[in-house]
Amino acid sequence: MAKLEISTVIDRPLEEVIAFTLNFEHQPKWQSRLLEANKTSEGPNTILEKEKTMNTRKAFTHLVKLSRLLALLILLLGASTPAYAQTVVATVAVGDFPTGVAVNEKTNRIYVANAGSDTVSVIDGATNTMISTIAVGDGPFGVAVNEKTNRIYVANAGSDTVSVIDGATDTMITTIPVGIGPTGVAVNEKTNRIYVTNLLSDTVSVIQD
């Protein structure tokens, strides 16, 4: 006797189920609700898509509601954007491959590390013009400013050093060896200590100013 295997509940009259099973070879898809029908060694195997379709519709409904909510949120955020939104007011040409930047608020000068040209560009914040170019170590990456001492520290990733610049004269006053591949630098003005991250040696160098 043929065996009917059902993976979901069939909400059809018993006579229809029997008729479908006995005439499996000649039956079309059952009111377009049959997802898959295969013949097995034990007889026809049917899988109805009613439950799957209902779950899919529920998921789709939730997705539509979520999309509408996100669209409304974006609309509200766009409407709340002030008319004085920030814009680019100037573009200053510096050295090759600029990677790091730091600002001295007291002197209104900006320092840009140019990894491609092994220099630091000094910009006048009042006029947005470059006023000086300072040669440093190989591959300068990070830069930081100590406003109290007016010194600038540049992490040179290619030469494993930190260049120290005098902000009053825009000249390099010393070079300090650190770990391998220094990339980041930060200053604690209260303690006059400088912290340098060494990418390739997994260390931080601490410098006392």
Both 105 and 10 in one domain: the answer is no
Compare 191 and 85 and report the one with higher pLDDT: 191
Both 201 and 165 in one domain: the answer is yes
- Dump pLDDT digits (tens) for 115-166: 999 999 999 999 999 999 999 999 999 999 999 999 999 999 999 999 999 9
The structure tokens listed for 74 are: 């974006």
Compare 96 and 77 and report the one with higher pLDDT: 96
Residue 69 has what pLDDT? 73
- Say if CB 166 and CB 151 are below 8 A apart: yes
- Say if CB 170 and CB 132 are below 8 A apart: yes
pTM: 0.61
Residue 31 has what pLDDT? 42
Residue 209 has what pLDDT? 82
Both 194 and 144 in one domain: the answer is yes
CA dist., res. 29 & res. 45, Å (int)? 13
Both 19 and 65 in one domain: the answer is yes
Residue 199 has what pLDDT? 92
Of 17, 50, 79, the domain-final residue? 79
- Dump pLDDT digits (tens) for 82-120: 656 789 999 999 999 999 999 999 999 999 999 999 999
User: How large a percentage of the chain has pLDDT more than 90?
Assistant: 58
- Is the confidence at residue 37, as pLDDT, over 50? no
Mean pLDDT, the chain, whole residue set: 79
The structure tokens listed for 14 are: 């018993």
Whether residue 85 is contained in a domain is answered as no
Of 13, 46, 79, the domain-final residue? 79
Residue 135 has what pLDDT? 98
Question: Please, which pLDDT band fits residue 70 given cuts at 50, 70 and 90?
Answer: confident
What does the pLDDT average to over 26-39? 44
Both 136 and 48 in one domain: the answer is no
- Say if CB 4 and CB 17 are below 8 A apart: yes
* Nearest residue to 100 via CA among 149, 148, 165: 165
Number of domains in the chain: 2
DSSP output for the chain: ----EESS---S-HHHHHHHHHTGGG---GGG-EEEEEEETTEEEEEE-HHHHHHHHHHHHHHHHHHHHHHHHHHHHHHT--TT----------SSSEEEEEEETTTTEEEEEETTTTEEEEEETTTTEEEEEEE-SSSEEEEEEETTTTEEEEEETTTTEEEEEETTTTEEEEEEE-SSSEEEEEEETTTTEEEEEETTTTEEEEEE-
Whether residue 88 is contained in a domain is answered as no
User: How large a percentage of the chain has pLDDT more than 70?
Assistant: 63
Residue ranges making up the domain that contains 167: 98-208
